[in-house]
A and B are shown apart, each in its own frame.
Chain A
């Protein structure tokens, strides 16, 4: 039977004897554990930030842009040729099984006036589906109805930034704003959504029925034209399917021959961002892996010191063996000593790692997330390092010959 509490006591005493040496040995583990925790916190913070952005633009989102015009051989880029229509929008929802919802978007930038305040903002003409596609919530009021879209009612929903700039503390619901001098009644306010991936303020916008935009604000070369179609796929797996179905449908509707280029572009925003999220996760793992190398180096430091300690204490080992210490009594004594070093180092490392992450968040404004799982993992790993690197010195100690060990000077 091995006496664990006493063994711990012996270890603590042995470590106290060489305070400086113990502290320096621990430092390796402290730095290793601290670095692992801080790196994982930074990495997780970064990928969480991207995940939040994905959530903010709406998940499983595809965006369809009109094609480019070609003027004298010069291609003008996506969106320069007005090719998308309300008909396309309705057809996509009707005929693409992988599509959950669709919302058109037509508009532009216009000056908005309320009382003596004015503000320039993006006007989006759309349908009530837009809120569902972009996973946007209402802060107050109501969404315009299908009926209001059909009739081209002059009603609007305001983004948070617009509300703040035009109304301040006044409740905007029921008030009338003038967009391009046309009066619109405010029927709702949108919940804040924050910045997009590119840093645009998504809340700096006004939603109006698309018909009202087409008729009253931004005229179109042909009726029913839309600038962008927002599509929500049924699931993440359906994104690629939906993209394919939309491509086929629109090529058919736009009568594009087999050898001709598309006159529209489908962008898979979710996929782009998921790729970014993936790469940031890989980055986090990589940082963690590099940090754990320093943990490993710390472990080697422990082994080094333990080997020195075994040699220095050969006589002590001999005495213990003479009075009856068995193989595992000696082994455990040194393993526990290494474990004590690494666990104390691990605890200090956790404190430093968590503190360091908070400092990074506070001063460098990097988002950091400390996951308790990683903290526990780092702690256990430091313990494992102690046991692993403590084992060889302990094994060596236990194999000493008691007679030689007793005579060792």
Chain B
């Protein structure tokens, strides 16, 4: 059974009288432990696709099976639970809570699945350690560099032991050197912890870190090939 199995997914946005087709019957599957880059120019539907994969949005038609579960039939709260347990998000703009320490940012996903305060703390500390932010637990996001903030976001994505990390342009706000560091972190997590990484980017050199590249154009997959 594939980790992610997408069958004939379409997404249509209704903008007044005009319906805009953002995805046209996309089908493919992702196995556990893959490292995939999704590429495409803006407006190609890759963000829409990403939102559907991340259970933030539902397809207009088609089936999306996540570990065999048909996500399309789930309600709002069930989707929230899936996001909590199965998917770790890393965003371009980091999306950390300001005025909240790194440690508490990492603890955030565990607030919503009944982990005790003590366990939350322990897990958050070890997650921060695994992304190389030991000793920065009590720093606030505005006291951290962009790369460090993104590492906190990665730690937050890891902390619930989610099998998938969805990274939406994770290096978009970072310089080349820091970008490389973050990508090496992803590579390491993929190799050592067997975490499936789905990366959205439009930078070819970032996509190079992945082992499979899917290219989108006008809502359709144009190429889907292994990266040599």
Contacts and interface: CB of A to CB of B under 8 A. Distances in A.
Nearest to A328: B77
8 contacts: A1-B113, A3-B111, A321-B83, A323-B84, A324-B113, A325-B112, A326-B76, A329-B80
Q: Size range of the interface on B?
A: 20 to 34
Interface of B: 51, 54, 56-57, 76-77, 80-81, 83-85, 89, 91, 95-97, 99-100, 108-109, 111-114, 117, 156, 160
A74 interface: no
Interface in A324-377: 324-329
A135 B85 CA distance: 78
Given A323-B89, A323-B156, A324-B81, A6 B111 contact: yes
Nearest to A323: B109
A76 interface: no
Given A327-B77, A402-B56, A319 B95 contact: yes
Contacts, number: 65
B109 to A, nearest CB: 4
B123 to A, nearest CB: 14
A408 B131 CA distance: 28
Given A13-B100, A321-B80, A329-B111, 10 more contacts: A3-B114, A17-B99, A322-B54, A322-B95, A324-B84, A324-B109, A325-B112, A326-B80, A327-B80, A402-B56
Contacts of A323: 83-84, 89, 108-109, 112, 156
A320 B113 CA distance: 12
Contacts of A1: 113-114
Contacts of B111: 3, 6, 325, 329
Nearest to A398: B76
Contacts of B57: 403
A318 B94 CA distance: 13
A10 B77 CA distance: 21
A6 B114 CA distance: 11
Contacts of A402: 56
A326 B111 CA distance: 11
